[in-house]
Amino acid sequence: MRVYEILFIIAPNVEETDVEALVTQFSEVATNQGARVTKVDRMGRRRLAYPIQKFKDGHYVVLTIEGTGAEIAEIERRMRVTDAIIRHLSVRIDEDLKRAEKFRTRRAAHSRAGRAAAALGSQSAAGESNAEEEE
């Protein structure tokens, strides 16, 4: 299972209700294709760092999707033909998240080993003074 983040920018002249409609529309496209939408992040109206199609700001939305990867093609195709969407960007993140998870577990194991070694060292030095340290 792959995890993707799809960010898209909706033109600023689109009404708030229509923004909602677009978000639900694209979530439905994803679910119809067999993917699962795990998170919908509406970042709200933001200034663009540079003008896109002469717009200076836009509504940012990020969908986090779990799927096989085939649904991304369909979602992107639909985003390309939707005029209200002025920019979209899909990023596969499961590999990066897995890597981050690996670092975290390794660090946890490392610090646990370090603590154990420290506890052993202080145990041999002083008997019960470090009893609260182990908790």
Partner 1 sequence: MSSSRGRDEGRRDDRGPQDRDRDRDRDRDRDRGGRRFVRARKSCKFCADRIDYIDYKDMRLIGPYIPERGKVLPRRISGTCSPHQRMLASAIKRARNAALLPFLTD
Enumerate binding residues for partner 1 (CB under 8 A): 7, 9, 43, 46, 48-50, 52, 58, 60, 62, 87, 89, 91, 96-97, 99-101, 103-104, 107
Residue 32 or 38 with smaller CB distance to partner 1: 38
Alpha-carbon distance 11 to 62, whole Å?
A: 15
The whole-angstrom separation of Cα 65 and Cα 13 is: 27
Smallest gap from Cβ 124 to partner 1, in A, equals 26
Closer by beta carbon to partner 1, 77 or else 110? 110
Tokens of 103: 């670092």
CB of 120 to partner 1, least distance (A): 25
Residue 60 or 82 having the CB closest to partner 1: 60
81: left (phi over 0), alpha (psi -120 to 50) or beta: alpha
Handedness of CA 89, 12, 24, 42 (dihedral sign): positive
Q: Which is nearer to partner 1, 6 or 35 (CB)?
A: 6
- At closest approach, how far in Å is the CB of 119 from partner 1? 22
Phi, psi of 53 (to 5 degrees): 50, 40
